[in-house]
Amino acid sequence: MNNLEYEEALILDKRYFYQTYWSILKREHSIIFTFFYCNDYNLYYVKLARFFFLLATDLAMNVFFFADETMNKLYLSYGKYDFVQQIPQIIYSKIVSNLIEVFICYLSLTDKHYYEIKTLDKSDKRIFNNIKCVKKKLIIFFIFTFLSFLFYIYLVTAFCAVYKNTQIVYIKDSAYSFLLGIIYPFILYLLPSLLRIISLRCKCCDLKCLYSLSEMIPIF
């Protein structure tokens, strides 16, 4: 339903707001998508690999945003953790992680290819092109994640070995960054759900632009 064209959605999509919201959320929320949404035509072991890679990315990005100023403030406060002070660092690391997630989703999600294949005749050559495309993407996905994992392991272990007194702060920042990633989708995806419902329920005018905007927010 979420992939329908506007004209088709006007006829076929009769869902309530909560149904639309849940359909977006279960595909965009990392934990729900990985562990509680199975019938989605994505390979489960790829979804699992994707989840652990994104978790590792959160850990690595928090290392990148540990600035000298943060180290100095920790030294002056005798290592006392100040959550408010760490908020910008947590947000920056999450933004970069989400940008990387967009690329990872492009490589790892296969359901759109499946839906496209279903619309084609068995003799259509585009079926084989789709399958080849999926294979290439998954190969690139596993090569990229494997090399990134090696880099992340080196980065995090080196950081924790050199800055031993910041390990607890680093773990707390990483935990808060992970929690932010769990919480914000519940708020963010209210918007595309609302835009979609308005564009499909308002019969007085053509709201195709609003419908297109609702499709842009969940990028994959």
Q: How confident is the model at residue 120 (pLDDT cuts 50, 70, 90)?
A: confident
Q: Is the pTM of this model over 0.85?
A: no
Average pLDDT over residues 169-182: 86
Name residue, tokens 């947000």. Answer: 91
Average pLDDT over residues 173-197: 89
Please say whether the beta carbons of 212 and 6 come within 8 A.
yes
pLDDT digits (tens, 9 = 90+) for 71-118: 666 655 555 666 677 777 788 888 888 889 889 988 998 888 888 888
